[in-house]
Structures are given as structure tokens and as C-alpha cells.
């Protein structure tokens, strides 16, 4: 094997890396300028201050995160390395979820920075977010293919983060071809996903447990599911006994899949969809005097970068204010945020202020996160991106 480019860590930093820190910053490296000469994304040997190798990572000369750690000690980054990581990730999900519909690889949390794999039965959706992981495709693709023998693999490399890494955006099938809509089996329901055109990877597996929790609390009740996407919350709620479900989203594609899921689960008679801007629809529903025993709002990420924090928080406040206005006295309100930068205390504060602005009182029942197939890297607090807050509204 050709020797890897070296990066040498400043004294003391190697302890953090050996202790599991997944990122090395430019400021952690002795003479990081030499890295500018390394091809973007290349594998590097991570050395301590004495020049002894302590692990392997990939290098990004354009980012403050200069190196993402792949392996510690002498473990080589080859096809077998990816096979081991995939087996471990799959074992965790198989034990946890029970059906082959889950996020199988969740980037750093599974020891594979820059790689996401979502599993829809025999079909995989893969998303590569970094130049380093892109260069390693000749290793991870055969490993993934040999382990799962999928009939289809679609590469959803159409995320904005790729541009920051200097990578082009595209969607392509690495194996098989698009077979139309794909089923998602979850919590005993069958949903539908469009893996090529759907948002992100086509399905938000991270809300699996929250959907079940809300459905269990909605038996015999009316529910409005704002930002419903393809019916993840609404359809299971109807199936588990909600009296009537209204799903609101701006995306015609998402709502068409929600309707199809309602039909497939024999609850179409209980479900209606409303296409439109959520804020306008919530305003109209309130003016029409509509009230619901359960209101949930799961908006898109309002805080995409650190500089959006203030505006994003105003967004969550507004969502909570408008949603709270639709809750029957004594009913439930669930608001979620999928923004990494919206940390829990600030998010809770925005939601509670929104409820107060609606002149309603709240009791905090529960705080929730992402389902277990979205594990958190212990050293990356930003991995706790999905936050839910469940309130009882007086």
C-alpha cells in the first residue's frame, strides 16, 4: 500500500482523538499548510506530536474540520473495514427496528463520517456529504453491495452540503433502476416514498418513535398534522384509532403519497389533506373556528446555519403560537425541530413563548429525540438534531 499523507497533531490533541473525538480542526495540526498540497479528500495518517501514527482519516483542506477520523490504531481503511462497519450498523438496526426499513448508516455516529444509508427493503438510498467519502466509493460500494445484495442503490447526492465540499450535485442509480414508488413498513403501517424525487432520502425514519407515541395518544381524538410530508404521523394515528386526521403540507407530491398511504392502510375515510402554506392554512383553520384535540407541527429545519439562529427561533415561536391556537382546551401540542443549530433550551424557550403569545398555558409532558436508528456520536452534541416537545395545553 502506498504510504498515506501524514498530518501531525499538536501535543495533547492525540488524546482527544484516541478518546473518540471524530474531528480534527486546522488549529489542532502542526503546520496545517502542508495539507493544502494534499488532494482534496485524500486519506491521511494521523500522527501524534512525536510522529507516531495513531489512526487514519481523510483530509479536507477547504474546511475548518481538516480531518475526519475513520480508524484508530493500525486498522486499515479498505473494503473489509467498510464491511465491518456496515455489519455493526446493520446489527444495531436489525435488533432495534425489526423490519428492514431504517437508517442503516448515520455518518460519524456509525464511524463513517460523510456517509448516510437508508434502507427500504431491497433498495438502498445512499448520500455522500464529503469529498473524503466520495473518494472512498470504490471501497464502500462493493462492501455494501456484497453484504446486503440490494436490487437497487440510488445515490442521492443532491444535498446543499456537497457544494461546501466542492462536490457536484446529482442523483443516479449505482445499481438497478427506479421502480417508481417504494414501500416503507413502519410501526405496522405501509407508507410510500419516492426515492428519487422525495425530500432528503425520501422518508424521515427519525420520527418513527414519535409517530407511534403521538398515535397512541390520539386514540378517539381529532388530530391535525401540520408539515405532514407523506403522512408519517397522520396515517398511523388514524390506523390506531384517531377519530379524524387532517394533514397539511405545501408539497403536492408529499400529500399524494400521504393519500396513497391512507388508502393502503384502510383509513382514507378518516384522513383529509390540505395543500398550502402551513402558516396560511393554520390561520384559516383558526379563523374558521377549527380546533383539534391533538396538534402537531414538524416543520423543515428553520436554522440551517449558525447565522440563522435568531430568525429560525422566531420561526419556531410562530409555529408554536399558531399551532397552540388550534388546540382544544386540554388537548396536546407536539412541536419538533430538525435543526442541528436549534439547541434544546433555545428551542423549548421559543415553543413556550409561542404558546404564551397564543395566550395559552402549557404543561411539559415529554421531550423526545430521534429514533434509535439515528444514534448520536458521544462527542458531537450537534448529533442531537431532532428535538420534540410534547405539551398539554390548557
Taking the least distance from each CB to ligand SAH, the nearer of 250 and 263 is 250
The reply on whether position 271 binds ligand SAH by CB under 6 A is: no
Contact flags string 106-125 toward ligand SAH, x per CB under 6 A: --------------------
67 catalytically annotated = no
Residue 14 CA, chain-centre distance (Å), reads 30
The number of C-alpha atoms within 13 Å of 202 and in the hemisphere containing its C-beta is 31
CA-based max dimension of the chain? 71
Residue 98 burial by Cβ neighbours in a 10 Å radius (0-12, 13-18, 19+): exposed
The reply on whether position 258 binds ligand SAH by CB under 6 A is: no
Q: Which residue's Cβ has the minimum distance to ligand SAH? A: 232
Which of these, 5, 22, 2, lies nearest to 13 by C-alpha position?
Answer: 22
Give helix 344-357 / helix 309-324 axis angle, nearest 10°: 40
Contact flags string 288-327 toward ligand SAH, x per CB under 6 A: ----------xxx---------------------------
- Taking the C-alpha atoms of residue 222 and residue 218, their distance in angstroms, rounded to an integer, is 7
Measured from the CB of residue 69, what is the shortest distance to ligand SAH in angstroms?
31
The reply on whether position 278 binds ligand SAH by CB under 6 A is: yes
Binding residues for ligand SAH, rule CB under 6 A, total: 17
Measured from the CB of residue 191, what is the shortest distance to ligand SAH in angstroms?
9
Residue 129 CA, chain-centre distance (Å), reads 13
Concatenating the DSSP letter of every residue in 233-263 gives: HHHHHHHTT-SEEEEEES-HHHHHHHHHHHH
The reply on whether position 250 binds ligand SAH by CB under 6 A is: yes
Taking the least distance from each CB to ligand SAH, the nearer of 114 and 299 is 299
- Taking the C-alpha atoms of residue 198 and residue 189, their distance in angstroms, rounded to an integer, is 19
Measured from the CB of residue 3, what is the shortest distance to ligand SAH in angstroms?
46
188 three-state secondary structure: coil
Contact flags string 194-233 toward ligand SAH, x per CB under 6 A: -----x----x--x-------------------xxx--xx
The reply on whether position 251 binds ligand SAH by CB under 6 A is: yes
Residues 59 to 98 in contact with ligand SAH, rule: CB under 6 A: none
Q: Could you tell me if 182 and 193 are in contact, meaning their C-beta atoms sit under 8 angstroms apart?
A: yes
Taking the least distance from each CB to ligand SAH, the nearer of 86 and 227 is 227
Residue 188: phi and psi, rounded to 5, are: 80, 5
Name the residues annotated as catalytic.
338
- Contacts with ligand SAH by CB under 6 A lie at 199, 204, 207, 227-229, 232-233, 249-251, 254, 277-278, 298-300
Amino acid at each position: 500500500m502506498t504510504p498515506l499523507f501524514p498530518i501531525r497533531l499538536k501535543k495533547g490533541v492525540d488524546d482527544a482523538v484516541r478518546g473518540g473525538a471524530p474531528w480534527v480542526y486546522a488549529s489542532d495540526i502542526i503546520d496545517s499548510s502542508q495539507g493544502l498540497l494534499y488532494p482534496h479528500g485524500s486519506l491521511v495518517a494521523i500522527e501524534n506530536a512525536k510522529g507516531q501514527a495513531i489512526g487514519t482519516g481523510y483530509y479536507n483542506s477547504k474546511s475548518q474540520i481538516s480531518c475526519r477520523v475513520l480508524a484508530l490504531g493500525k486498522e486499515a481503511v479498505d473494503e473489509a473495514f467498510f464491511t465491518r462497519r456496515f455489519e455493526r450498523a446493520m446489527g444495531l438496526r436489525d435488533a432495534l427496528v425489526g423490519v428492514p426499513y431504517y437508517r442503516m448508516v448515520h455518518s460519524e455516529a456509525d464511524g463513517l463520517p460523510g456517509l448516510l444509508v437508508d434502507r427500504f427493503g431491497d433498495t438502498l438510498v445512499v448520500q455522500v456529504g464529503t469529498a473524503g467519502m466520495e473518494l472512498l466509493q470504490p471501497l464502500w460500494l462493493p462492501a455494501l453491495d456484497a453484504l446486503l445484495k440490494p436490487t437497487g442503490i440510488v445515490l442521492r447526492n443532491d444535498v446543499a452540503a456537497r457544494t461546501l465540499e466542492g462536490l457536484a450535485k446529482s442523483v443516479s442509480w449505482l445499481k438497478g433502476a427506479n421502480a417508481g414508488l417504494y414501500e416503507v413498513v413502519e410501526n405496522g403501517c405501509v407508507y410510500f416514498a419516492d426515492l428519487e424525487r422525495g425530500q432528503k432520502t425520501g422518508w424521515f425514519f427519525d420520527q418513527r418513535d414519535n409517530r407511534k407515541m403521538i398515535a397512541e395518544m390520539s386514540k378517539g381524538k381529532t388530530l391535525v398534522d401540520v408539515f405532514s410530508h407523506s403522512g408519517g404521523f397522520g396515517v398511523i394515528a388514524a390506523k390506531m384509532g384517531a377519530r379524524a386526521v387532517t394533514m397539511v403540507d405545501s408539497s403536492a407530491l408529499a400529500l399524494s403519497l400521504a393519500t396513497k398511504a391512507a388508502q393502503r392502510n384502510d383509513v382514507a375515510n378518516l384522513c383529509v389533506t390540505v395543500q398550502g402554506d402551513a402558516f396560511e392554512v393554520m390561520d384559516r383553520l383558526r379563523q374558521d373556528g377549527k380546533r383539534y384535540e391533538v396538534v402537531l407541527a414538524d416543520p423543515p429545519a428553520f436554522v440551517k446555519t449558525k447565522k440563522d439562529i435568531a430568525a429560525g427561533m422566531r420561526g419556531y415561536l410562530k409555529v408554536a403560537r399558531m399551532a397552540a391556537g388550534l388546540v382544544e382546551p386540554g388537548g396536546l401540542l407536539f412541536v419538533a425541530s430538525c435543526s442541528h443549530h436549534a439547541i434544546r433550551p433555545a428551542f423549548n424557550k421559543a415553543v413556550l413563548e409561542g404558546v404564551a403569545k397564543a395566550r395559552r398555558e402549557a404543561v411539559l409532558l415529554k421531550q423526545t429525540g430521534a429514533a434509535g436508528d439515528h444514534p448520536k456520536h458521544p462527542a458531537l452534541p450537534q448529533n442531537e438534531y431532532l428535538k420534540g416537545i410534547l405539551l398539554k395545553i390548557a
